[in-house]
Amino acid sequence: MTESAKKEKAPKKSWTKGLKSEFSKIIWTDKQTLAKQTAAVVSITVVLGVLITVIDSVVLEFIKLLIK
Residue 49 covered by a domain = yes
Instruction: Give the number of domains in the chain.
Output: 1
What pLDDT sits at residue 64? Answer: 94
CA distance 22 to 16: 10
Cα–Cα dist 59/62, whole Å: 5
**Residue 43 maps to a domain:** yes
Indicate the pTM of the whole model.
0.60
State the residue range of the domain holding 49: 38-68
Whether 57 is covered by a domain: the verdict is yes
Q: Angle 60-61-67 (CA atoms, 0-180°, nearest 5)?
A: 90
54 within a domain of the structure (yes/no) = yes
Query: For residue 32, is it within any domain?
Result: no
Does 42 reside within a domain? yes
Give the helix ranges, DSSP H, for 1-68: 3-7, 15-24, 31-67
Q: Does residue 10 fall inside a structural domain?
A: no
Per-residue pLDDT reduced to its tens digit, 15-38: 788 888 888 899 989 999 999 999
